[in-house]
Amino acid sequence: MSKARSLTVAEGSDGGFEPSSVPMYPMLRAEIRDTDNGEYVGLVDDEVVASDLDVEPVRAAIVTTAARSAARRLGDVKAIRVQVRSGADVFQTVVTAAGEVFDLTDAPAGTSSSSSTSKRGKSTKAAIATPDAEDAAKFRFHPILLVILGFPILMIAFFAWILFFRGGETSAPPKAPEARQLPVVAPQGYAPVATWAVKTGTASGTTTGGVAADERRVYAATGSSDHITAYAAVDGMKQWSVDLDGPLTAGPALTKVDGETVLAAATSSKLVTLSPSTGRELGEWKLDQTAASQVRITVTGPVVIGRANTAQIIVDGDLKSRIMPAGALPVAPGPGGSLIAVTHDRVYASVSDKLSGEGRPISPGGPGTVSVAAWTGQRLVLAYATASTASTGAQLAGYAVPDDMDGSWDRTWASTLTTSSSTSGAFGVQLPLTTGPSGRWGVYGSTLVDLRNGKTIELGEWSTVSVGDDIAFGVGPTEVLSAGPAGLGGHSDPEPSSIQVTAPQAVHGSSAYLITGGGTTEAWLYALTPARDRSGQ
């Protein structure tokens, strides 16, 4: 029988703090698991924080982790909501930066605590650190009592604990989304029936915003493109949803900020980062409305492009300005809080809002003006074009990122393209060479580029929509196209010229995700898998 309990252990309140006033977001999700080997495991946002044969150290580790998160919150409220799951029971609590725990779980009507004079639903103070013998006694039966009274009293105590702690009746689990027929032509090799589909909002054209995916979840702009909602990749079950108080202008996109994988998105007024596992807000920064700020989300973090010669990046939890020389182009956040920026023949790693430094010279990949083509964190790709080639192609050059920002940016390859850049499904300020997450390859306009050696393959009438590590999706005049690192793959059945061609906007592995209205006023997110996967062959 499980001994796992809520975080709360004792009553008390200093009277100067009202836990119910703490905002609902961000919220941590904690869990105490009773394993088959007799250990208790504590998790916070799916990360294991402790395991022990005794439940008390596990509970204390959860409280300590939550207190650290509360201390990092911006503003005056140094407290955070924590939803604690223990078996089938869920408790709503608030943890302060000082480690105080307040239980906000509502008990069934008429239920009161045998050890507290206050009604359930009012805030109660809790033990913080690993309890000493006196605190532990509040949770444990004395061994002699157990010997005398045995199993019956243990069962009675267990059910009394359930009545005391659980907040209302347990509702039936939500039903998983069902398979649904695609309203558009599926890419070649993919089943015409989605494994699952969910309504995301009102259709506007063919999509309502961006889509991102990893192995566990799909992240989509929902509602009027003013929410981000996460769905389980395996079955489409909704996991969390966040209201951004305005339509998205960039994202959602997975990226790295201060070494942590986050989900980034922006509206016209703010930039936010969220926990991919819970949707908990990790950071929020106001954007300068007078500078017409635009947000580019790169693999190493967001870049806010606004005022001349200045861009902003996230460094140690703050949105900091970095200066660039006149005419330089911002690329992405680099190591050590730097902003990588480029001119025709130099690369800068600016760490100041006043001076850019001299930069490092590079060998240009061609004549003419320069633009940023791609950034992978390990490689920088620049495009060079003259007036005569700007509309028909460009010369690309790949530069290896040095281990030391004061080192040499060596040009490792240069290639000549015959087509201009064109991206159909980009959402937000994007670089024209769309790359897969690993940075091994990408697509520039209708040219496939191997980023390791600069080898190119022409794809024909192709406009890029999404690129993964193994497959990319694009559209032609009347068909959905797919390609891999070796070149063009499948063609879908041609659609009538009166119907807009729609390709998946996100891909992870062989799974693809598509938001479309299909000619209706409702937008749906469809999960596509190769036909062979559905048949088991």
Give residue-wise pLDDT tens across range 181-197.
999 989 999 999 999 99
What pLDDT, in 10s, does the model give residues 125-166? 333 333 343 344 444 444 444 444 555 555 555 555 444 444
Query: For residue 287, what pLDDT is reported?
Result: 93
Amino acid at 524: W
The predicted structure's pLDDT at residue 150: 54
Strand duo 196-202 + 522-528: pairing: antiparallel
In a domain, 26, yes or no: yes
Spatial distance between the Cα atoms of 222 and 203, rounded to a whole number of angstroms:
10
3-state SS assignment for residue 523: strand
Give the model's confidence band at 493: pLDDT under 50 very low, under 70 low, under 90 confident, else very high. Answer: confident
Q: What is the mean pLDDT of residues 452-467?
A: 94
**DSSP secondary structure, 248-289, as one string:** EEEEEEEEEETTEEEEEEEESSEEEEE-TTT--EEEEEE--G
How does DSSP assign 175-198, residue by residue? PPPPPEE-SSPPPTTB-SEESEEE
CA 444, CA 449: separation in Å to the nearest integer?
Answer: 7
The sign of the dihedral angle between the CA atoms of 153, 158, 159, 164 is: positive
Which DSSP state fits 59?
Answer: H
Q: Is residue 231 part of a domain?
A: no
**Structure confidence at residue 463 (pLDDT):** 92
Is 207 a domain residue? Answer: no
Parent domain of 116 = 19-165
Peptide linkage before 26 cis (omega within 30 of 0): yes
Share of the chain above pLDDT 90, in %: 53
End-to-end CA distance of the chain: 43
**If you average pLDDT over residues 206-228, what whole number do you get?**
86
Question: Mean of the pLDDT values across residues 509-533?
Answer: 87
In a domain, 82, yes or no: yes
pLDDT, averaged across the chain: 82
Q: Are 461 and 500 in contact (CB under 8 A)?
A: no
Decide if 295 is inside a domain: no
Q: Give the pLDDT of residue 456.
A: 96
Eight-class DSSP state of 199: E
pLDDT in tens, 256-315: 998 899 999 999 999 999 999 999 999 999 998 877 789 999 999 999 998 889 999 999
d(CA 471, CA 469): 6
User: Cα-Cα-Cα-Cα dihedral of 234, 240, 246, 250, to 10°?
Assistant: -40
pLDDT, position 172: 58
Report if residue 520 sits inside a domain: no
Q: Could you tell me the pLDDT band of residue 170, with boundaries at 50, 70 and 90?
A: very low
Q: Is 487 left (phi over 0), alpha (psi -120 to 50) or beta?
A: left
Tell me whether residue 414 is in a domain: no
Asked if residue 289 belongs to a domain, the reply is: no
How do 463-467 and 456-458 pair as beta strands? unpaired
Nearest alpha carbon to residue 212 among 255, 272, 260, 257? 255
Helix/strand/coil percent split, the chain, to 5: 10, 40, 45
Token pair of 489 as six digits: 């793959």
Planar angle of CA 277, 423, 493, nearest 5 degrees:
90
Write down the pLDDT at residue 168.
44
Total domains, the chain: 1
